[in-house]
Structure 1
Amino acid sequence: MEPQLLSLDRISTLPQPLIDTILCLVPFGDAVSTSILSKKWRYNWAKIPKLVLDTVYMFDVGSMPGDFKRTIYDAIKKVLFLHEGPIHEFTFILNINNISVEIDQMITHLSRNNNTTLKKFKLDLGDHDHLYRLPLSIFSLHQLTDLYLHVCDLDFGPTFSGFHCLKSLHLEDVRVTTKTLLHLLSKSPLLKSFTLIITEFHIYENRYLFNWDKYTLTDLFECLHMIEHFCVSMLVIEVVFCLGVVPRELPPSLAHVKQLTLDEVFFPQNIPFALLIIRSSPNLEKLKLQMCEEPNTQQSLIDNVTYSAIPLEHLREFEIEDFANMKSELDFVKFILTKAPVLEKVSIFLHHEVDMHEEVMMLRKLLRSPRASPNVEIIVERPPRKYKGRIHYLDPL
């Protein structure tokens, strides 16, 4: 007698909160696709509290009719209006231009229906030709804990009272005055993570960050006294807040910073500004530098160090990306090795033009240089698009 096969739907019998959690872990398009499973599953996707609308992956523009912008917007609008219950996290990644009015309507809908429940909001318009000006309705989302904006125009009216629950703020290529920026930071008393990235093109060509009132680096640091993770473009520090002049003295305003990321670092001209921020972060545990190419520059770092008392007693990780093997870069790595007594890991991600011979010579110099930490591990990686593999070097003194 053949055993009877039983068809059991174990997933549908799970509690609804657990089903919502599972659907939040898969791509949103896949979550919506579960509506075809059965009548019970038809609107399960509409109850999940996390919405990630990424037009890059959700829609195949090539297969759409001529007015694909309208088709995409109608689909997104349908998702929002069919959604039941609160939305805690909302991510919108758009690769289509000239759809500002539709985005306004979407944000306004969110602010009206989820102004007390929405915690995390991400708007990424990285492929837009023009800046999108955020509507004032976004500033009514007073319960936000995480705000991520990419390629936007940020300004708020006189009634803005602040994001009193905000813990993480990411601004990338956002057009804003320094006065507005500092006001936003000062009205976010719980802020723990702050990212301010503006590319070189936008700094010089479009003046994304205005400093009409000549605010200084001290003014910025005073708004970040509780920050634990700080990521900033070096051009913002040098051009906007320092006006090209390195301050002689700064208080250790970033006393709570444990992770510091310096983006678009040019060697060696940015070294004094980088050391200035590091010096103001006495409890730093992880330091990351994102380098920019500066060819034909072999100026030594050590001969031009302005500050000698750089506190690195707590530094455990150091990472440098797009390492071009210039002398100034190598000197900086040596400088970190000699100043960090508890350093555990140094990660060097090579620039694609660094060949194998240069890599070997660089490693020989590093392994022979003095180190304050006896067991630091040096990891070298090549760009994945040209090379594969990972080399570990552990050479205790």
Structure 2
Amino acid sequence: MVGRKKRTQNCDKVSHEEDEDRISQLPESLISEILYHLSTKDAVTTSVLSTKWRYLWQWVPGLDVEFNTFSNINAFMSFAERFFYSNRGSWIRKLRLNISDPFGKCDLNSWIDVFTTRRIQHLAVDYIPTSEIPLSIYTCKTLVHLQLVRAALAEAEFVSFPCLKIMHLEDVIYPNETMLEKLISGSPVLEDLLISRPYPWYDKAKVLQVRSHRLKRIDIDGSTEVVINAPLLLCLRTMIYLTKNFKIISLGFPTKLDIDVVFSKKKTCCKGLIHDILTDISRVRDLVINNVILKDILLYSNSGQLFQFRDLSRLNAGFAKSDLEMLPTILESCPRLESFTLELVKDPSMCGKMKKEPNVMFSAVPQCLVSSLKFVELKRSIPRYEGEMKLIRYFLKNSTILEKLKLNVYYTKKEKCDFFTELVSMTRCSSACKVLVL
């Protein structure tokens, strides 16, 4: 019996060891796929497990490294070159490099030449440049997602990204506006475009031409002239400097429109801008907008009649306190509104002037409060507004089918007690309404 017990224990020990090392018995290609879903740091750490695992991280089809995680530039270069040159025939599916190399020691150009021939699909490079991105990047036929941050682009005669669907360019320096147009026109299946522009004196491209028949999302941020020709566009987010031109040649009926307006020191009239977007904004279903342009849209009309957002279901709008008087008019212009986020913000035009509390008349009940409004969020980045409780009471008292009222506001400990006491006592038209205070 003793011998039988020992034999059982030995069998159990062997079985346990086999279970522990079962993952090492998997094909190397499958192990590489598992390591791909780990961070690069964790994937490299597995090299200490055994002799078999020592070099497996170099076969992983993805790399995500930051220069500042290494002790010095030489350690970073040694690590990167071991990965890039370990097996030139392997596939690099995804690559993200964050490099700060003011002395130009990194051989980024040769690295790019390597991974553009290795069927790369996702490339993100954050690079403080001492030289331009090499020309080989412009003809990478497998790229699906390209993100460049703080990079300098070289001028190229030919650009071809036949598979590129997402292109994000943040603070990229272009040799001229023609090169920027080539990047877009050379991407025939491009659907998602983000362009965040550097300050004008770092950039020779003064006019941003966006012409594409496949684009669905455009995100533009920068002080430059913008021309858009995108008939299939679904989502547009842009910051407009009123001293610049914003011209739409052809625009689809976007489901979401996010517009922010930045004034120069001297405010200029934006009637031309409003005229350009009026015909398209009326079909928008999701609108994020600030008080400046929203007020101008409501007031500007050739017929003098109130502008209508007949299809709008979601509205996220910034208001200065002085603009709250037009709130009932805005709600009246959105007969199908289901979700409304109102944020109280500072009014730069009132700087140094006597602050006057707005006299908001809540006598009328807009159609949306009766038939469609289900969610309201009130938030502010300014001190407490005296008429805030009146505003809250208005929505609770008149919103027939309201499901949630979210209050993202700050109160001192002394104010909180009075605030909750008054909030609890308010009449609610909708018995299903929940009030959430953050």
Answer yes or no: same fold by TM over 0.5.
Answer: yes
Q: CA deviation at 1:19?
A: 2.8
**Alignment deviations for residues 254-293 of structure 1 (CA, whole Å, 9 cap, x no partner):** 326445555785698798758956864666555556x8xx
The 1:191–1:303 alpha-carbon spacing in structure 2 relative to 1, beyond 3 Å, is closer
Q: CA deviation at 1:154?
A: 2.0
Q: Would you say the 8 A contact 1:340–1:372 is kept in 2?
A: no
1:55 partner letter: F
Q: CA deviation at 1:198?
A: 1.8
Counterpart in the other structure of 1:183: 182
Q: Would you say the 8 A contact 1:229–1:259 is kept in 2?
A: no
Q: Would you say the 8 A contact 2:242–2:269 is kept in 1?
A: no
2:143 partner letter: L
Q: CA deviation at 1:105?
A: 2.0
- The share of aligned pairs that are identical, in percent, is 19
Cα distance in structure 2, aligned partners of 1:334 and 1:38: 71
Q: How many residues align?
A: 348
Q: Would you say the 8 A contact 2:156–2:179 is kept in 1?
A: no
The 1:156–1:95 alpha-carbon spacing in structure 2 relative to 1, beyond 3 Å, is same
Cα distance in structure 2, aligned partners of 1:329 and 1:95: 47
Q: CA deviation at 1:30?
A: 1.1
Find the partner of 2:341 among 338, 346, 353.
346
Q: Would you say the 8 A contact 2:288–2:316 is kept in 1?
A: yes
SS in 2 for 1:154: coil
Counterpart in the other structure of 2:58: 46
- Within a 5 Å distance, the mapping from 1:184-263 to structure 2 comes to 184-199=183-198, 202-203=199-200, 205-206=201-202, 208-211=203-206, 219-220=209-210, 223-233=211-221, 235-237=223-225, 244=243, 250=248, 253-255=250-252, 257-262=254-259
Q: CA deviation at 1:86?
A: 0.6
Out of 373-382 and 91-100, give the one that drifted further. Answer: 373-382
Q: Which has the higher contact order (CA 8 A, sep 6+)?
A: 1
The 1:161–1:135 alpha-carbon spacing in structure 2 relative to 1, beyond 3 Å, is closer
Q: Would you say the 8 A contact 1:55–1:93 is kept in 2?
A: yes
Counterpart in the other structure of 1:145: 144
TM-score (norm 2): 0.63
Q: Would you say the 8 A contact 2:166–2:193 is kept in 1?
A: yes
Cα distance in structure 2, aligned partners of 1:254 and 1:263: 18
Counterpart in the other structure of 1:110: 115
Cα distance in structure 2, aligned partners of 1:311 and 1:230: 22
SS in 2 for 1:189: coil
**Bigger radius of gyration among the two:** 2
Cα distance in structure 2, aligned partners of 1:329 and 1:100: 57
**Alignment deviations for residues 40-99 of structure 1 (CA, whole Å, 9 cap, x no partner):** 22222122212112223x32xxxx3xxx22232122112211256111111111133232
The 1:70–1:16 alpha-carbon spacing in structure 2 relative to 1, beyond 3 Å, is closer
Counterpart in the other structure of 1:27: 39
Cα distance in structure 2, aligned partners of 1:34 and 1:284: 51
Is 1:81–2:85 an aligned residue pair? Answer: yes
Q: Would you say the 8 A contact 1:170–1:196 is kept in 2?
A: yes
TM-score (norm 1): 0.68
The 1:23–1:361 alpha-carbon spacing in structure 2 relative to 1, beyond 3 Å, is farther
The 1:70–1:190 alpha-carbon spacing in structure 2 relative to 1, beyond 3 Å, is same
The 1:157–1:55 alpha-carbon spacing in structure 2 relative to 1, beyond 3 Å, is same
Cα distance in structure 1, aligned partners of 2:400 and 2:184: 37
